[in-house]
Amino acid sequence: MMKSAPLLCGVVALLLGACVHAAIDMEIENKAVDRTIDLTSQLVKISYKITLEHKSKKAIGSYLFVVPEADRDRLAFISAKDSSKKELKLSETTTPKGVAFSMTLPAGSSNPVVYIETVFSRSLKPFPTSIGQSERQLVQYFGNVYFYSPYPTVTQKTTVHLSSRNVESYTQFKPSSQADSTITYGPYDNVPAFAQEPMTIHFENFTPFMTVTRLERTIEVSHWGNIAVEETIDIVHSGAELKGPFSRYDYQKDTRSNQPSVKSYKTLLPASATGVYYRDTNGNISTSALRTLKDAVELDLRPRFPLFGGWRTHYTLGYNVPSFEYLFQNGDNFLLKMRVIDHIFDDMVIDEVLTKIILPEGASNVKLIAPYSVQRHPDSLHYTYLDTFGRPVVSFSKRNLVENHINDFNLKYNFSRVMMLQEPLLVVGFLWVLFVFVIVWMRLDFSIIKEKEPHQHKD
């Protein structure tokens, strides 16, 4: 039975590959592909402008975009739009050639244009992996010179934008050229389907390489007008690790504007955020600065020490927002609409986020509508002051998030407004019992021997 398992897996893979191949219209071809690879940060952002054509001049109803299997785990975000910039729904399928994303195109066009955007995390590898305090940070990018597609491509061109003009080496596959911090590949004509030609670029990248290894976000909803948000954040500098000792004196003398270390970064909070606090295990961090913008509250966070490669920091950030901006009501039906994550820093990468929503005691019929696929955890209860049977807690998590995941979730639930009287009545009831107890206590006589009445002398 164990020996037949690999054979069965192979048969399933062949059947999947045959199904996907059958779903591909071999008459479709990529008439022109304009690909842009952005390597100016720690993320790899690749955008495509694809003009399609049917050899028989028929209308094209669907299109297939394939990501190599080796890149799937690093793919954080993908989106597709048509020529009118309308979002196209994607469905994912695993095939032997990679992960296929299929999309349905608007009807009536024989030469449609598709815009696809992908974001990859942890695709830039520091090389060397460790550097001294005053050395430059160099990274390597490994990609494909050609556009990896199940359809043949008539002509294609790739433009690579780097964060620096300091390029150690790059794959010179003709025709290719470098101008300042831009490398151009192509145009290449008559490229077959699933064509591959390795591309390697070794260059200087001094942008902050910070990764949020874990983010725990707690949202506590109160129907008395306030929503409290608290985030517990673990961050690691994921760039080249620091080699040798750290010198504070040399660090302060270093006037380079492209240091690989991180002194501070800016976090954006909602414009209505108040009561902001920023602390770690040692207490409040007073080096932060708060500035109110037109559409956000900008918090300049400065850790207690600069972050070098491999160094970590842990802190807690919290604030309050008014509930009327995020909580909507229709009778006993309520809708909570808030962000899954906030903007922690530019070009951020979050390995894992756990979001907890604490609802008022008595909330029922809870329904979560997430903006993308998440892992829902079992509901639990949270107890705080004056609670009797606990507040419902809705929890969900997701891995590998970037700025494109800053979207709102919708949480629907039922809550009777009579339950808002529960806590005031508990306080009133407790005080009433206390007063009654004091009155009874004062009227009781617990003495063993009664006091004698004072003797009155007769005149």
Say whether pLDDT at 21 is over 50: no
Domain ranges of the chain: 29-204, 210-244+259-418
Residue 454 binned pLDDT confidence (cut-offs 50, 70, 90): low
Domain 210-244+259-418 sits in CATH at 2.60.40.1730
Q: With contact defined as beta carbons under 8 Å apart, do 230 and 218 qualify? A: yes
Say whether pLDDT at 109 is over 90: no
Per-residue pLDDT, 11: 41
Q: Say what percent of the chain tops pLDDT 90.
A: 59
Residue 65 and residue 18: Cα distance in Å, rounded? 16
Taking only Cα atoms into account, the Rg of the chain, rounded to an integer number of angstroms, comes to 31
Percent helix, percent strand, percent coil in the chain, to nearest 5: 15, 50, 40
Per-residue pLDDT, 455: 57
Determine the average pLDDT of the residues in 353-369: 93
Per-residue pLDDT, 81: 94
Determine the average pLDDT of the residues in 300-329: 91
| Strands of the 289-292 sheet, one edge to the other | 265-269, 297-301, 289-292
226-260, pLDDT tens digit by residue? 999 999 999 999 999 988 888 887 877 777 777 77
**Residue from 124, 260, 132 nearest 203 by CA:** 124
Residue 17 binned pLDDT confidence (cut-offs 50, 70, 90): very low
Say whether pLDDT at 208 is over 80: yes
Residue 71 binned pLDDT confidence (cut-offs 50, 70, 90): very high
Per-residue pLDDT, 118: 96
Say whether pLDDT at 412 is over 80: yes
Residue 450 binned pLDDT confidence (cut-offs 50, 70, 90): low
Side-chain-side CA neighbours of residue 453 (13 Å): 3
129-187, pLDDT tens digit by residue? 998 888 889 999 999 999 999 999 999 999 999 999 999 999 999 999 999 999 999 89
Say whether pLDDT at 12 is over 50: no
Per-residue pLDDT, 382: 87
Q: With contact defined as beta carbons under 8 Å apart, do 95 and 144 qualify? A: no
Residue 219 binned pLDDT confidence (cut-offs 50, 70, 90): very high
Residue 457 binned pLDDT confidence (cut-offs 50, 70, 90): low
Say whether pLDDT at 73 is over 60: yes
Say whether pLDDT at 393 is over 90: yes
Structure-token pair, residue 358:
């604490």
The three-state secondary structure class of 420 is: helix
416-434, pLDDT tens digit by residue? 876 666 667 667 877 888 8
Per-residue pLDDT, 255: 73
Rounded to the nearest integer, the mean pLDDT of the chain is 87
Per-residue pLDDT, 297: 93
Domain made up of 29-204: CATH architecture = Sandwich (2.60)
Structure-token pair, residue 408:
């709102």
Determine the average pLDDT of the residues in 291-304: 90
Determine the average pLDDT of the residues in 317-339: 94
Residue 18 binned pLDDT confidence (cut-offs 50, 70, 90): very low
Q: Give the β-pairing of 153-162 and 28-39.
A: parallel
**Residue from 179, 175, 143 nearest 157 by CA:** 175
Residue 22 binned pLDDT confidence (cut-offs 50, 70, 90): very low
Per-residue pLDDT, 168: 94
